[in-house]
């Protein structure tokens, strides 16, 4: 890190990602992050009080990278709810595919960190469920979807599409037909949600 440039949390998190890429989560330490920044580990601890806090923050940052794109789709009431749900699920798959394909080392590290730091993963899933719930509630209000509990329906949609977003299935996301398969699942879900 150049002299005179203030150390901030974002700089530390970026350096942590680089360290995770090189060493993986099992071997990456706060000392490694400090060394990469050219500062003492005490300087890192001023921003993050523990290794666990640093890992939690970097996990949250990674999980939230595609949040704004997904939230914009969920909140775009000009798009009919059925098309919006399909677009949201396709965008989530595309984001996951890109993470797994374009930065495999970091993706592998985050698979481990997300399990270790379940509060970050839990909060991430809760946010995704709120977005789905908003789409479904709008569809119910417009009469496009059956009157049902939007929160329960959001959970069902999320669970039914696990194969297309849970990191356990990452190797399947690069299959040539995965988008077609997601589209088929979307059609089935939308047929089930459709108002009678």
- For 43-57, write each residue's pLDDT tens digit: 999 999 988 888 888
Task: Tell me the backbone φ, ψ of residue 8, rounded to 5 degrees.
Answer: -130, 170
Q: Is residue 93 within 8 Å of residue 185, measured between CB atoms? A: no
Write out pLDDT tens, residues 93-144.
Answer: 999 999 888 887 778 777 777 777 568 888 999 999 999 999 999 999 999 9
State how far the Cα of 83 lies from the Cα of 62, in Å rounded to an integer.
27
Domains of the chain are: 9-55 (1.10.10.60), 64-193 (1.10.357.10)
| Residue 58: band (very low, low, confident or very high) from pLDDT cuts 50, 70, 90 | confident
What pLDDT was estimated at residue 30? 92
Calculate mean pLDDT across residues 77-85: 97
Calculate mean pLDDT across residues 9-35: 89
State how far the Cα of 62 lies from the Cα of 107, in Å rounded to an integer.
9
First to last CA, the chain: 62
What pLDDT was estimated at residue 59? 83
Higher pLDDT, 42 or 112: 42
22, pLDDT greater than 90: no
Report the percentage of the chain scoring pLDDT > 90.
66
Q: What is the pTM of this model?
A: 0.86
Report the percentage of the chain scoring pLDDT > 70.
95
Q: Is residue 19 within 8 Å of residue 33, measured between CB atoms? A: yes
**75: which 2 tokens?**
């909140």
**Mean pLDDT of the chain, nearest integer:** 90
What pLDDT was estimated at residue 1? 58
For 39, the 3-state DSSP assignment is coil
What pLDDT was estimated at residue 51? 85
| Residue 89: band (very low, low, confident or very high) from pLDDT cuts 50, 70, 90 | very high
CA proximity to 116, closest of 25, 47, 187 = 25
């Amino acid at each position: 890190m150049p002299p005179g440039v203030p150390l901030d949390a974002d700089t530390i998190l970026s350096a942590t990602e680089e360290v995770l890429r090189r060493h993986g989560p099992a071997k990456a330490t706060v000392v490694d992050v400090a060394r990469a920044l050219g500062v003492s580990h005490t300087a890192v601890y001023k921003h993050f009080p523990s290794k666990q806090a640093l890992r939690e923050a970097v996990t949250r940052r990674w999980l939230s990278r595609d949040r704004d794109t997904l939230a914009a789709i969920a909140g775009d009431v000009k798009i009919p709810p059925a098309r919006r749900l399909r677009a949201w699920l396709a965008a989530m798959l595309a984001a996951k595919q890109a993470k797994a394909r374009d930065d495999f080392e970091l993706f592998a590290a985050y698979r481990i960190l997300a399990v270790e730091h379940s509060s970050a993963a839990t909060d991430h899933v809760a946010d995704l469920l709120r977005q789905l719930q908003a789409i479904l509630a709008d569809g119910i209000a417009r009469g496009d979807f059956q009157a049902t509990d939007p929160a329960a329906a959001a959970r069902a949609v999320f669970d039914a599409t696990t194969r297309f977003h849970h990191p356990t299935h990452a190797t399947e996301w690069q299959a040539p037909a995965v988008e077609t398969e997601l589209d088929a699942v979307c059609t089935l879900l939308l047929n089930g949600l459709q108002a009678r």
